[in-house]
């Protein structure tokens, strides 16, 4: 084959079979800390989009986030979905802040009334408040500050080497994590930016409820992706997540779109018309 023909063949091949970027598929298991049976979740990352599939007792739940559109869909096993935009999240954050302000005011009024009660009656009221998780003299929670503190050690989770961190919420430990470097979990810069964008998307809610199940791994502060994490309630481990595998592969673009035929419902349980 002469040089000209070889060049022509190579050019045609590149036109017919263009290079394509691979997405990342992360398999995880989540559940109660120490439990033998855990739920499987699959995270897909590709081209500024994220999809998370979670298997539950009632079926598969799906979350899709599109960074370019700044929209997130939550698809339930009953073929319904909820849509969240930046305005939705901002509104929810504002409502949570207003509710906290109202609770603070109500607790202040309660404390003023308790101050004038006889000691025995006041003790009974305090006991009742403790039973409902309301500590006398405490203000309702406001915006929280979440930080990460390196523990100065490393570990190995499956095939992943990782660095240990403590997650601190308002200075108190709420989780232990072990984060692997982006390269070792095959995350590209675009994937990291997608995860950071999802955190920013949920920021108005996360500040009010940092352990509320919103947001995404803080890859920026952790300088990597957590391959193992354990949440804590005080000194008690409650919830555990472990990465089982990471794979680079082509991902069907339809996985990041909202399927037809679903029925839309609002964030407060009402139902609307599905996508056409």
List pLDDT tens digits, range 76-90. Answer: 999 999 998 877 777
What average pLDDT does the segment 136-144 reach?
A: 55
Helix (H) or strand (E) holding 65: strand 59-66
Find all residues with CB under 8 Å of 77, minimum gap 6, and list them. Answer: 56, 58, 59, 60, 61
Element (DSSP H or E) covering residue 273 = none
**pLDDT by residue (tens digit) across 160-198?**
999 999 999 889 999 999 999 999 999 999 999 999 999
Rank 105-114, 194-203, 209-218 by mean pLDDT and report only the highest. 194-203
pLDDT confidence tier of residue 53, bands split at 50, 70 and 90 = very high
Please give the pLDDT value at position 19: 44
Q: What percent of the chain has pLDDT over 90?
A: 47
Show the CA angle centred on residue 45, arms to residues 92 and 65, nearest 5°.
25
Identify the top-confidence range among 21-25, 117-121, 123-127: 21-25
Q: Span 39-67, mean pLDDT? A: 91
What gap in Å lies between CA 235 and CA 173, rounded to an integer? 9
On the question of pLDDT at 101 being above 70, the answer is no
Instruction: Give the long-range contacts of residues 152-160, CB within 8 A, separation 24 or more.
Output: 155/228, 157/227, 157/228, 157/242, 157/243, 158/227, 158/242, 158/243, 158/244, 158/245, 160/184, 160/185, 160/227, 160/243
Coil, strand or helix: which one is 12? helix
**pTM of the predicted model as reported, rounded to 2 decimal places:** 0.72
Domains parsed from the chain with CATH numbers: 3-91+142-264 (2.50.20.10)
Which has more pLDDT, 184 or 112?
184
Better pLDDT: 169 or 228: 228
**Separation CA 28–CA 34 (nearest Å):** 15
Q: Look at residue 95 in the predicted model and tell me its pLDDT.
A: 58
Quote the pLDDT of residue 152.
81
């Amino acid at each position: 084959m002469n040089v000209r023909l070889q060049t022509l063949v190579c050019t045609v091949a590149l036109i017919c079979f263009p290079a394509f970027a691979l997405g990342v598929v992360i398999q995880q298991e989540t559940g109660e800390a120490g439990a033998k049976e855990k739920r499987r979740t699959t995270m897909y990352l590709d081209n500024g989009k994220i999809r998370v599939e979670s298997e539950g007792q009632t079926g598969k739940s799906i979350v899709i986030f599109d960074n370019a559109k700044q929209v997130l869909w939550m698809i339930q096993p009953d073929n319904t979905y909820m849509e969240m935009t930046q305005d939705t999240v901002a509104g929810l954050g504002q409502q949570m802040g207003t509710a906290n302000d109202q609770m603070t005011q109500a607790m202040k009024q309660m404390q003023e009334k308790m101050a004038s009660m006889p000691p025995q009656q006041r003790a009974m009221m305090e006991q009742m408040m403790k039973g409902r998780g309301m500590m006398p003299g405490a203000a309702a929670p406001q915006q929280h500050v979440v930080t990460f503190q390196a523990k100065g050690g490393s570990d190995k989770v499956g095939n992943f080497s990782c660095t240990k961190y403590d997650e601190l919420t308002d200075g108190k430990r709420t989780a232990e994590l072990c984060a692997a470097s982006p390269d070792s979990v095959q995350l590209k810069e675009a994937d990291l930016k997608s995860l950071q964008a999802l955190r920013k998307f949920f920021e108005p809610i996360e500040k009010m409820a940092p352990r509320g199940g919103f947001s995404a791994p803080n890859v920026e502060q952790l300088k990597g992706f957590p391959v193992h994490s354990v949440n804590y309630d005080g000194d008690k481990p409650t919830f555990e997540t472990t990465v089982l595998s990471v794979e680079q592969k082509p991902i069907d673009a339809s996985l990041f779109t909202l399927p037809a035929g679903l029925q839309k419902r609002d964030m407060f349980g009402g139902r609307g018309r599905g996508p056409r």
